[in-house]
Amino acid sequence: MPPPAHDTPSAMPDSTANDAPESLISCRNVIKRFDGRTVLDGVTFDVHAGETMVVMGGSGCGKSTLLRCMIGSHKIDSGVIELFGQNVCTLRPEEMDDVRKNFGILFQSGALFNSMSIAENVALPLQEHTDLDPSTIEIMVKIKLELVGLREHADKFPAQISGGMKKRAGLARALALDPRILFYDEPSAGLDPVTSAEIDRLIVGLTRKVGVTSVVVTHEMDSAFTIADRMVMLDKGRVLRVGSRDMFDELRRLPDDQAKDLPEEDRLIRQFLRGDAEGPITERKAATSYAEDLLRQPQTAKPIGPSIEATRGWGFRRRKETLP
Ligand SMILES: Nc1ncnc2c1ncn2[C@@H]1O[C@H](COP(=O)(O)OP(=O)(O)O)[C@@H](O)[C@H]1O
Ligand SMILES: [Mg+2]
């Protein structure tokens, strides 16, 4: 059986766009280095209007860095990132502020102000960025809280609500200015499976209800397959593949006897999607002998987190049990 067809290798423009859908985000050959260490290495892909694009890959492969580059909070070393057709790398700060009003961000923690009620947290962007009168803001806050199922909890403080509710509140705040794009970094991190499934349903529901375009960074495969229209897989700062959820799903479901003849890259993607304990990711990790590994240790150890080489050990949170 031939490997499933896919959209693009990393350096090529994303060609899912046969009928040229509108691109709200475009990344072209994005390179980002930290202290000379290349963390994003020629990342190229588009996000189309109205879709949910999931960015996946092992821990440390550059997902959060990519997201921060997209929202203009990290400067890239080369390449181009366009949001709504504007190159965010060359915008003046005040121009970037205008672009910022058109996107919302939900970071891992939800990042609420603890001294403010949920309603006050959601009202804040409206007070800061609009001239709306308080009674209009109050109505808008109610609408956003209703969207995330928190209207009855408007007057509670962050310390009085659960982790899942904090995420919902963060989401209501991210939605306050009716953004065209929502960015999420690991939206279900730290939540139990039931709550995390609830957040996934909320993301899917929001895309339908308000038509927002979403970029979701995650390494949670169940979550990724629930919410994605398309997916981009990163590996060591490079795009391994961009494609539809169905394309990745076909690869994930391919039986072992058919998968063994796939090219190494397809087997690697399949192993990650399935969370299998055995496959090219683990083989590549084991390729260095124990002795070599020990001897190399002093040179590779760096005070500021793992190097790009260290991302070889893809971080699985869940693995299929293959041991007896
Ligand atoms: N501000 C920073 N300064 C230096 N190194 C960083 C910084 N942010 C991230 N890194 C490094 O970049 C790599 C990718 O990190 P990150 O994008 O957070 O990965 P992911 O989100 O995929 O887990 C890691 O090796 C990390 O240590
Ligand atoms: Mg991250």
pLDDT at position 110, please? 64
SS3 1: coil
- With a 6 Å cutoff on the Cβ, whether 39 touches ligand 1 is yes
Give 54-92 pLDDT, tens digit per residue: 999 988 999 999 999 999 999 999 999 999 999 999 999
Which residues are within 8 A (CB) of 24 and not within 5 positions of it... i.e. 6 or more apart? 47, 48, 49, 83, 84, 180, 181, 213
Question: In order of start, what are the domains of the chain with their CATH numbers?
Answer: 23-249 (3.40.50.300), 256-312 (no CATH)
The 3-state DSSP class for residue 187 equals: coil
For residue 285, pLDDT beyond 80: no
State the ligand closest to the CA atom of 61. 1
Compare 28 and 280 and report the one with higher pLDDT. 28
Return the structure tokens found at 73.
Answer: 């909070």
Distance in angstroms (rounded) separating the CA atoms of residues 270 and 280: 9
Which uninterrupted H or E stretch holds 82? strand 78-83
Which atom of ligand 1 is the closest one to the Cα of 66? 17
Question: Is the shortest distance between the CB of 43 and ligand 1 below 6 Å?
Answer: no
- Tell whether ligand 1 has an atom less than 6 A from the beta carbon of residue 26: no
Q: Can you name the residues that pair with 322 across neighbouring β-strands?
A: none
Check residue 208 and give its pLDDT.
83
Average confidence score pLDDT of the chain: 84
% of the chain with per-residue pLDDT over 70 = 81
Distance 59 CA to ligand 2 centre (A): 7
pLDDT for the residue 62: 96
Query: For 186-229, how does the pLDDT look when each residue is reduced to its tens digit (9 = 90+)?
Result: 988 888 888 899 999 999 988 888 889 999 999 889 899 999 99
Ligand 2 centroid–CA 12 distance in Å is: 25
Residue 309, pLDDT above cutoff 90:
no
Residue 299, pLDDT > 60, answer: no
Instruction: Tell me, in angstroms, the distance from the centre of ligand 1 to residue 62's CA.
Output: 6
Sign of CA dihedral 88, 92, 93, 94: negative
Report the pLDDT value the prediction gives residue 257, as an integer from 0 to 100.
Answer: 92
The ligand with the least distance to the CA atom of 187 is 2
